[in-house]
Amino acid sequence: MDPQTLTELLDVSVLDRLDRIEDLPADELARSSALRKEGYSAEVTAALLTQAQLRKDAVKKLGPFAEDMLFTRDGLAQATRLPVAAHHARRLLGEGKDTGGDEGADDSADAADSTPSIADLGCGIGADSFAFAGMGAQVTAVDADEVTAAIATFNLRHLANASAAHARAEDSDTSTFDALWFDPARRTVGKGTNSGSTARIFDPEDFSPSLSWVIDKALAAKAAGVKLGPALDHSLIPDEAEAQWVSHLGEVVEVCLYFGEARQRPGRSALVMGERTLLVHEDDLPADDEDGVGELGRYLLEPDGAIVRAGLVTALCGPLQARRVHPKIAYLTTDVEPSGPASAGVTTYEVTDVLPAKIPSLRKALISRGIGSVVIKKRGADIVPDQVRRQLKLPAGDKATLVFTRLGDRHVVLLTQPC
């Protein structure tokens, strides 16, 4: 969306039309011609249709708030999911820390002074800022993209304690804030904000702002958080930081580096957020250097991706009475069906058979067991699941999950059922 179209979209009557867009026929063409008949330009009509779609798409990340917000496609793709943003807010606001306030003091000036201030330096459409302000912080947000900054301003309009401006992080005075938040852009900018033609940036110095600039600022701050992609090379994590990988509803969404007062426990940790929450920390790793490999048991356990990315798979061995199937493969095995808090960190499959990995023998073995439909998983096996499924050409039959992996030096296929 270009700045001129955004200005037109921000007109009260146009926004009102967006809020009532469901009154129009659902069919896109019919909707478009109805809007044109009402006098909207081609650009504003396209913007209204795009915003209506983006609001729908955004509900998954931002819940009902999405219905009252504006987006760019890139901005929505990069926005933090609200429950995860609330977790960032708790960390920056020092949740669980003693505030040291005077007992019984009820002076409003003191109360105002104690409101923590957070700078969001590259705020996007404002999802993190929304959570920071919603949880009581005084938020100053900036974004280097003019349209994105204007959209963040709109999205934060109901929060008196938050504002957004069009500015570069590098030009901001960061010295006066209680906490700094960074979520550097890690994709190239698409041609036209809604084109979706972006590509991942691999060199951290090409992030915007660059990772070295961000880390320098974070190290100097009272408290800071830096959101990065979960594939981050562990060697880039400064010793002073706590690195926490986060998954939400089964998807690994980020690694976040916390500094200063936002750092709770140094080292690596994994936070599994979903129906149940699990926190696994580097200190939970077994003390010995053993790789923990053992015989295949009755169950195969697939650890959550955040735990895998954090390099903490063996931390689950003790609580789940489990062992690894191979020193380099992130599957565990156990004879006892997982229960208790640590079971939130794995998906469990009951192993019913160990089958040969060669396609003709595998096909024969599956047909003889009446299996006709397979979900294929792999770790440590050089296969392309869709290709294998096509090669198997199974006749109709029961459903099963096939796990292509290694037991010691042997390439095997485990025939399993999800528990």
Ligand X SMILES: C[S@@+](CC[C@H](N)C(=O)[O-])C[C@H]1O[C@@H](n2cnc3c(N)ncnc32)[C@H](O)[C@@H]1O
Q: Which residues bind ligand X (CB under 6 A)?
A: 75, 78-80, 121-128, 142-145, 148, 168-170, 183, 185, 208-209
Q: What is the Cα–Cα distance from 353 to 49, expressed in whole angstroms?
A: 52
Computed on alpha carbons and rounded to an integer, the radius of gyration of the chain in Å comes to 25
Task: Collapse the DSSP code of 28 into the 3-class scheme (helix H, G, I; strand E, B; otherwise coil) and give the result.
Answer: helix
- Rounded to a whole number of angstroms, the minimum distance from the CB of residue 8 to ligand X is 22
Nearer of residues 123 and 301 to ligand X, judged by Cβ: 123
Identify which of 298, 294, 328, 305 has the alpha carbon closest to the alpha carbon of residue 317: 294
For 364, list phi and psi in degrees, rounded to 5.
-60, -45
- Rounded to a whole number of angstroms, the minimum distance from the CB of residue 77 to ligand X is 9
Q: What is the Cα–Cα distance from 155 to 122, expressed in whole angstroms?
A: 15
CB-based contacts of 108, cutoff 8 Å, min separation 6: none
Q: What is the Cα–Cα distance from 275 to 270, expressed in whole angstroms?
A: 16
- Rounded to a whole number of angstroms, the minimum distance from the CB of residue 323 to ligand X is 39
- Rounded to a whole number of angstroms, the minimum distance from the CB of residue 52 to ligand X is 20
Nearer of residues 224 and 392 to ligand X, judged by Cβ: 224
Nearer of residues 126 and 292 to ligand X, judged by Cβ: 126
Nearer of residues 181 and 404 to ligand X, judged by Cβ: 181
- Rounded to a whole number of angstroms, the minimum distance from the CB of residue 88 to ligand X is 9
Nearer of residues 209 and 311 to ligand X, judged by Cβ: 209
Nearer of residues 254 and 304 to ligand X, judged by Cβ: 254
Any idea how long the chain is?
419
Identify which of 309, 209, 212 has the alpha carbon closest to the alpha carbon of residue 252: 309
Residue 322 CB neighbour total at 10 angstroms: 27
Contact 403, 414 (CB under 8 A): yes
- Rounded to a whole number of angstroms, the minimum distance from the CB of residue 125 to ligand X is 5
Nearer of residues 145 and 304 to ligand X, judged by Cβ: 145
Give the single-character DSSP code of 286: -
Q: Residue 52 has which token pair?
A: 């209506």
- Rounded to a whole number of angstroms, the minimum distance from the CB of residue 65 to ligand X is 12
